[in-house]
Amino acid sequence: LPAGLSQWFPALEVLDVSGTGLAELGAELLALPRLHTLLAKNNRLGGPGSLPKGLGQAPVGRSLRVLNLSGNRFAELPPALLGLRGLQSLSLGGNRLHGIPPDIQELRSLEFLYLGGNFITSIPPELANLPSLSYLVLCDNKIQSIPPQLAQLHSLRSLSLHNNLLTYLPREILNLVHLEELSLRGNPLVVRFVRDLTYNPPSLQELAGRTVKTRNVPYAPSDLPENLVRYLSLASNCPNPKCGGVYFDSCVRQIKFVDFCGKYRLPLMHYLCSPECSSPCSSASQSSTSQSESDSEDEASVAARRMQKVLLG
């Protein structure tokens, strides 16, 4: 970037340096208080120092709304980005990302997140803490599973998951009522019944966590180390209506196929807190009464019908 950029063009609002071969964006950027859109795609950014230090605290850090870094060489989300509290749109498509840092939740204003065409293998549940996220693109990666917490993204309107390594989806995905677009093609989605998957007994930490949550043991951030406070916030509720329990990492997993009006069969993963629990779609005892099965079947199929118009192709 030319030196003195912010002195020559202090009112700059949009800067497009795409396809210029830049290997770093320097401090010249920092003093542009009106810059809301920065397009730097198809460059050679990605090494340490690609983005200037203090980006989040600088005037440009408060004004920036749209940042496009697609087609570069980032192997990890640059930490300098995380201070951009006002950022609404971020694209890192076509880079070399292997994962998404949990700290992504610091981008509180994010509405549009494009991460297609990377090497991402998993999604941190913290992604679900972005309250305004409406467009999430994760296509063309190596993702094997979706954390059920993603169903908390109430504003999500479009979710792109095609060309990954998904074999099933979390049942909670049916809760995304505002979802209008969902792409799942090019995933090895399981098509046949899968027996109960192996159950790893819960660790002491998990058992303690479950007790704290189910007995409503009060605690404040000052009572516990930060990592345990975060751990407790990741509790998931057991879907068994008779259970009311929670689980963290240790759960029974069952794949249940949900029919979309007899046309599509989506494999949804049910998580239960213990082998003694049962999914809402089967009764506790082995002999299932057709009544209870059809009741919970209805609940799933109503939600499924809502999603049906979304799930095309």
Partner 1 sequence: MEQPVQTETWKARSLEELIRILHRIFAEDKVSVEEVQELMESYESNPEEWLQYAKFDQYRYTRNLVDNGNGKFNLMILCWGEGHGSSIHDHTDSHCFMKILQGNLKETLFEWPEKKGNGEMTKKSERVLRENQCAYINDSIGLHRVENISHTESAVSLHLYSPPFDSCNTFDQRTGHKHKVKMTFYSQFGERTVC
Q: Could you say whether residue 93 binds partner 1 (CB under 8 A)?
A: yes
Token pair in block for residue 269: 């993963």
> Which window, 88-96, 120-128, 219-227, 246-254, contacts partner 1 (CB under 8 A)?
88-96
Q: Closest distance between partner 1 and the C-beta of residue 194, in Å?
A: 16
> Which window, 2-10, 48-56, 176-184, 225-233, contacts partner 1 (CB under 8 A)?
176-184
What is the residue type of 108? R
The residue within the footprint of partner 1, chosen from 112, 119, 122, 214 (CB under 8 A), is 112
Neighbour-count burial of 221, counting CB atoms closer than 10 A to its CB (0-12 exposed, 13-18 middle, 19+ buried): exposed
Q: Closest distance between partner 1 and the C-beta of residue 265, in Å?
A: 8
The residue within the footprint of partner 1, chosen from 119, 214, 264, 293 (CB under 8 A), is 264
Distance CA 170, CA 144 (A): 12
Strands across the sheet containing 135-137: 14-16, 37-39, 66-68, 89-91, 112-114, 135-137, 158-160, 181-183
Q: Could you say whether residue 98 binds partner 1 (CB under 8 A)?
A: no
The residue within the footprint of partner 1, chosen from 70, 88, 254, 274 (CB under 8 A), is 70
Question: Can you say how many angstroms the Cα of residue 254 is from the centroid of all Cα atoms in its chain?
Answer: 22
Q: Which is nearer to partner 1, 188 or 221 (CB)?
A: 188
Q: Could you say whether residue 52 binds partner 1 (CB under 8 A)?
A: no
Distance CA 252, CA 267 (A): 16
Q: Could you say whether residue 257 binds partner 1 (CB under 8 A)?
A: no
What phi and psi, each to the nearest 5 degrees, are found at residue 307?
-80, -15
Q: Which is nearer to partner 1, 116 or 202 (CB)?
A: 116
Q: Could you say whether residue 135 binds partner 1 (CB under 8 A)?
A: yes
Footprint of partner 1 on 203-232 (CB under 8 A): none
Q: Closest distance between partner 1 and the C-beta of residue 21, in Å?
A: 15
Residue the block writes with tokens 């239960």: 272
Neighbour-count burial of 91, counting CB atoms closer than 10 A to its CB (0-12 exposed, 13-18 middle, 19+ buried): buried
- What value, to the nearest 5°, has the Cα angle with vertex 108 and ends 60 and 33? 10
Interface ranges with partner 1 (CB under 8 A): 41-42, 70-71, 91, 93-94, 112, 114, 116-117, 135, 137, 139-140, 157-158, 160, 162, 180-181, 183, 185, 189, 191, 263-265, 312-313
